[in-house]
Amino acid sequence: MTIRVLAAGDHFVKNSLLIDALRREVPGEVDIRELTLPWPVEPFGRVGEVDEASDVEDELIEALRGVEVCVTQMAPLTERVLDACPELRLFCVSRGGPVNANLEAAARAGVAVTFAPGRNAVATAEHTLAMLLAATRRIPPTHADLAAGVWRGDYYRYDRVGPELDGGTAGLVGYGAIGRRVARMLAGFGAEVLVHDPYVDAPGKVELPELLRRSRFVSLHARATAETAGLIGAAEIAAMPPGSVLVNCARGALLDHDALCDALESGHLFGAALDVFPEEPIPPGSRLLTAPNLVMTPHLAGASKETARRAAAIVAADVARYVRGEPLLHVATP
């Protein structure tokens, strides 16, 4: 029996990666159609009732005609798409969380939604450490000065240099796949690692106020939920030791960015590093664009070739389980 699959890849998790993984993993004949989505050349956004998706409902509906399985990263699984595609039975999202899928509507329609947890854990952990070091050692501004032909010897002044990781205390807010890897890396630098995560047991686990009070370096790794929105605000930043460094490579909603800018401008924080923001792209006029001692990257923490290949392999493996009639491994549908 031939199964018809739509590979709705983009310019990161490419169709060629999805198709190679499907050919390698899925038994029997597979009829694969292709649809290339515009992300990241065009930013994702809200589509219908789902978030962080490419605005391609019409193209997706057309490509899904007669299709039983869709593998994608950014395609929007909305009520409109589900209503127009009654033959769809499996929607595999090659990312850590299927925020671009309406899970309740999918369940009502009999469509299973899977995802790819841990696909970018290595890349994000490595990026987090790079951002922490860049902010602590002021690499971006010193590079910019040198590139402009300016030698800033004053950066060597005692009151302008940052702390070392070795012998310092680092606090991780969230201890999932990424947080655990960051903890191992920091321990390798000689840092004491504290953890706050109400859902897991971990060495060095403490309550959030104690973590903030003791940690010279704080890195956010929690998921964005109703409970974690604004988790780190003015009071939490003020509780950190003067001269601390704050890093967020998780989700912009975790952090009060006005409070962050206040702390950078006042000098309470030595520095900060952000890969995620309350609005993406950052709008003109944002305080983040002029805040001192702030390192920024455009939501790139999970971007590596290995992440893309791993994402394709994870979703292809669940398609193979579906074809063999086995339980799916990473199911998000209620």
CB-CB contact of 294 with 269 (8 Å): no
Cis amide leading into 298 (omega within 30) = no
Catalytic choice (126, 268, 280, 309): 280
Angle, helices 15-25/305-324, rounded to nearest 10 degrees:
40
Catalytic choice (216, 251, 321, 330): 251
Locate 2 and state its tokens: 């031939």
Strands (DSSP E) contained in the chain are 3-8, 30-34, 45-47, 50-53, 69-72, 90-93, 112-114, 169-173, 192-196, 217-220, 244-248, 269-274, 294-296
10 Å Cβ neighbour count for 320? 18
Catalytic choice (138, 180, 299, 310): 299
Tell me the residue length of the chain. Answer: 334
CB-CB contact of 118 with 112 (8 Å): no
Could you give the CA distance from residue 70 to residue 295 in angstroms, rounded to a whole number? 37
Q: What is the rounded radius of gyration, in angstroms, for the C-alpha atoms of the chain?
A: 22
Could you give the CA distance from residue 19 to residue 101 in angstroms, rounded to a whole number? 21
Q: Are strands 50-53 and 45-47 parallel, antiparallel or unpaired?
A: antiparallel
End-to-end Cα separation, the chain, in angstroms: 29
Collapsed DSSP state (helix, strand, coil) of residue 205:
strand
Query: DSSP alpha helices (H): ranges in 272-304?
Result: none
CB-CB contact of 138 with 183 (8 Å): no
* DSSP β-bridge partners for residue 31: 4
User: Is-catalytic flag, 280?
Assistant: yes
Taking alpha carbons only, the member of 196, 144, 136, 143 closest to residue 172 is: 196
Q: Return the active site residues.
A: 251, 280, 299
